[in-house]
Structure 1
Amino acid sequence: MSRLTSTGLTTTGAWMAATAVCLVALGVWADYPELVTLGLAAAGTLLIAALWLLATPKLTVVREIRPRRVFEGDAAHGTLTVTNVGRRRSPPLVVTETLGGDRTTVSVPALAAGGECTVGYPLPVSRRGRYVIPPVRLGHSDPLRLLQRGRATGGELVVHVYPRVHHLAMITFGGSQDAEGHTTSNAPLGGAAFHSLREYVPGDDWRRIHWGATARTGTVMARHVVVPDEPRQLVVLDTGSATYPGTLFEDAVRVAASFCVAAERASMPLHLKTTGGAERESSGTALELLSSVRHDSAERGLAALSELVRDVVTDTQGVALVVVTGRTDAEATRLLMSLRPRFLSLSLAQLVTPDAVAPARPRGVLAVSAASSDMFATSWNRLVLR
């Protein structure tokens, strides 16, 4: 779908219009008809340029952007396929693509009737974010480049630029004493761990019918099998009261994203929460959330941590908690120490400035502080893998 967006003067056209006005005014004031004639000629040239632009080329444009989800520092490319569906030759075009305030301009050559051209161009995806790319803008001008006409075509596209991630080693936990693993009634169905007996319902696998219990009760009974409980990874990102000087919040987001990817790599169920109330339960959706998360100093920060983890430790057993924040104060340290017994492990990632005094390390908490996400990854892996 195409629609007209703007028609206006180019820089050359603006100078031409100003010259026409000045020549006509000066000619009238000085009673100099030759100047008036030159001014009218300039105005007439602009009129011819306007008439030229009335014949808008009939084009179809197909835009593709790949990949639509990319990590910081990786490459993303756009591809435009322009087809001239009109009966006459189309003029050269200038295509403008806008992403996060950055503009990319691509030139498309003149196309004969029925002609097609495919052009590719890089997209600036160096900064984390969720970008809504507006419809592509096609622009063409008259032969003298006095006027230009632009129109938008196509629809909006969304590109997610995920935070850059680092390879992080995961803390290993001992297996359950039960060979099939501990189970709960709200565990996912479809596993191999026996949890209980229940009445048979249509659609159940007949091989799971417990014939002994069926004979005793007179009701067809089936084995209720579930996926055994597994250690879960809970990542909490402080988006509130913690101080993040400079770009340290970006480093904190990268650390949180790295833990999410590491949990997926280790096949651990993941739950990501922010102190602002946002949450996701898979690596892919967590990265989408982290691509657009923002720091808001008006939030409660780690003061909300007890409320954030209450439902997790109540409903699920075996949770490893990771808290990603800035520098912690004495109150936050006491809070972390009080929460420690409720988790398999509690890890604290602190992003602080290089000249900051070493933060307090709560007892029983695996705490690592660093001045960047790269330094954190190095220190964390050295500590966990030693």
Structure 2
Amino acid sequence: MTITARGAGLLACAVLLLVTGFWFGYAELALLGVAAAIAVGCAVGYAAWRPRLDVTRVAEPDRVSRGESATMTLTVRNSGRLRSASLIAEDRCGNQPVPVPLLRLRPGHDTTGSYPVPTHRRGVVTIGPLRITGRDALGLMTVARSQGGTAEVLVHPRIHPLAAVPAGVTRSLDGRVDRVPHGSITFDSLREYVVGDELRRVHWRTSAKVGELMVREHLDTSLPRLVVLLDNRAAAHPRLVDGVAETFESACEAAASVVAAAYREDLPVVLLVVADDSDPATGGAFLDRLAAVTLRTEPAGSGDGPLRTVARRLRQDRLGDTLVFLTGPGARADLGQLGALRGAYPSVVVGMFGAEGRPAPDAAGLVVLDAADGAEFAAEWDGVRRW
């Protein structure tokens, strides 16, 4: 509850008139002081009245990709029985105020309004609570209260279709590492029958054509296991435009694209964030996590640093056979730490966004995709001939 300048002036006049009227015996001045005091008291009583409002929010939809449309529908109901609510209401949509008209909202009635949710940036848009401002007819007192809870709309990064997926890796008994197409037991070729071959592997149609027994040759393949490592260190994305690191937004789009491609091909995939202590995302919450992830600044005296810590974890756990590291121009000097993981991850792909020039010399052996944004990364990814 806040008293306005008009209310403070009237209250001061009321005190002055009452003191002057009683001190000097002027009944007229005392009467004016009493009237002013009554007006201030009525304003306080009006401001103290709390309307009974029920606030309901529905986001349609509550999860969208960046740039898609989303609408918030707000319903306010006056559940009181005696008085109409004539208030000024304002909803919060992110950092933007949204006016909500509540003029003459009668008891038992409701009003519904809708407005678009800004989705031009990836992130979590928090909506609410509804802020209600009431004031008396003379403008002496104002009161502002929060009504209802909050809702969230998750804006996922854009997904760029990827046509290619990495090859799986299988280790033979003599220590070699072979790259094979993803799948299970897959047909490879036909060859002539030799003594000892199983008859169920004979391809009878081809055998009838060539006049001799032909046997199907199969390839024992391995499913590729992808590990996507997103670099959210502020030092890796030093360039900010209006407070937003576009290279980091592009890295998030690339991560979402790789995860979506893996899901499309039914491939196991793990999402890790460099400066994040939470467990790796392996379920259906990849996009939600990518919507909520933010840049983090490394504190002074942080020891080995988050990248070295996560690299040590990757070396110990060996979560997959293909590591995809997505970072910005500030991590050029850190690629050597990724090169040290080649023993645990036969395929290491680095997506570097916003870099100018060639990668560092210690990036030898890595597949480096230098891209300006997520769309260019998708084109570079599909152009990789050997993983």
Q: Does 1:161 align with 2:176?
A: no
1:26-52 residue CA offsets vs partner (Å, 9 max, x unmatched):
9989x9x89998787665443333333
Q: After TM superposition, list the pairs within 5 Å mapping 1:1-386 onto structure 2.
A: 7-9=1-3, 13-18=4-9, 21=12, 44-130=38-124, 133=127, 135-173=129-167, 174-175=180-181, 179=185, 230-240=223-233, 242-245=235-238, 246=240, 247=245, 248-276=247-275, 277-282=277-282, 284-293=284-293, 294-298=295-299, 300-313=305-318, 319-327=321-329, 332-340=334-342, 342-343=344-345, 345-352=347-354, 356-360=356-360, 362-371=363-372, 373-374=373-374, 376-377=376-377, 379-381=379-381, 383-384=383-384
Can you list the C-alpha shifts for 1:322-374, whole angstroms capped at 9, x where unaligned? 00122377863444334335435321111235xx4432373342212234x24
Contact 1:270 1:283 in 2 (8 A): no
- Matched residues in 2 for 1:359 and 1:233: separation? 23
Relative to structure 1, the CA distance from residue 43 to residue 79 in structure 2 (aligned partners, 3 Å threshold; closer, same or farther) is farther
Change in CA separation of 1:156 and 1:94 when aligned onto 2, cut-off 3 Å: same
Shift of 1:113: 3.0
CA deviation string 1:89-112 (max 9, x = no partner): 412233333344433231123233
Is 2:65–2:157's contact at 8 Å kept on the other side of the alignment?
A: yes
The DSSP-based 3-state class of the residue aligned with 1:282 is coil
Structure-1 separation of matches of 2:280 and 2:60:
25
Q: Counterpart of 1:262 in structure 2: which amino acid?
A: A
TM-score, structure 2 as length reference:
0.67
CA RMSD of aligned residues (A): 4.0
Q: CA deviation at 1:320?
A: 2.0
In 2, Cα distance between equivalents of 1:296 and 1:251 = 19
* SS of the residue 1:332 aligns to: helix
Please give the alpha-carbon distance, in whole angstroms, between the structure 2 residues aligned to 1:307 and 1:49: 66
Rounded Cα–Cα distance in structure 2 between residues aligned with 1:178 and 1:126: 42
Shift of 1:305: 4.7
Q: CA deviation at 1:375?
A: 5.7
- Distance change (3 Å), C-alpha of 1:243 and 1:148: same
Q: What whole-Å deviation, never above 9, does each CA across 1:218-266 have from its counterpart, x for those lacking one? A: xxxxxxxxxx962222101123485312213333333323322332233
Mark the runs of 5 or more structure 1 residues left unpaired by the alignment. Answer: 1-6, 182-227
Bigger-Rg structure (1/2): 2
Alpha-carbon shift at residue 55 of structure 1 (Å): 4.5
TM-score by length of 1: 0.67
Distance 1:283 1:136 in 2: 34
Gaps of 5+ in 2: 168-179, 188-220
Q: 1:266 to 1:143 in 2, by over 3 A?
A: farther
Greater mean deviation of Cα atoms: 94-103 or 263-272: 94-103
Distance in 1 between the 2:30 and 2:54 partners? 44
Give distance in 2, aligned partners of 1:320 and 1:143.
69
Amino acid across the alignment from 1:93? L
User: Measured at CA, do residues 251 and 27 of structure 1 come closer, stay the same or move farther in structure 2, by a change above 3 Å?
Assistant: farther
SS in 1 for 2:161: coil
Conserved? CA contact 2:59–2:71, under 8 Å: yes
Determine the C-alpha separation between the residues in 1 that align with 2:331 and 2:106.
69
Residue identity in the other structure for 2:359:
P
Aligned residue-pair number: 325
- C-alpha separation between the residues in 2 aligned to 1:84 and 1:16? 28
SS of structure 1 residue aligned to 2:380: helix
CA deviation profile, 1:262-305 (whole Å, cap 9, x unmatched): 32233322201122243433364222222332322346244335
Rounded Cα–Cα distance in structure 1 between residues aligned with 2:10 and 2:345: 77
Secondary structure at 2:291 match in 1: helix
Q: Which amino acid in 1 is paired with 2:250?
A: D
Q: Aligned letter for 2:369?
A: V
What do residues 152-207 of structure 1 show as CA deviations (whole Å, max 9, x unaligned)? 333343443333443344334343686279xxxxxxxxxxxxxxxxxxxxxxxxxx
Q: CA distance change for structure 1 residues 381 and 42 in 2, over 3 Å: closer, same or farther?
A: farther
Q: Which moved more, 1:42-51 or 1:254-263?
A: 42-51
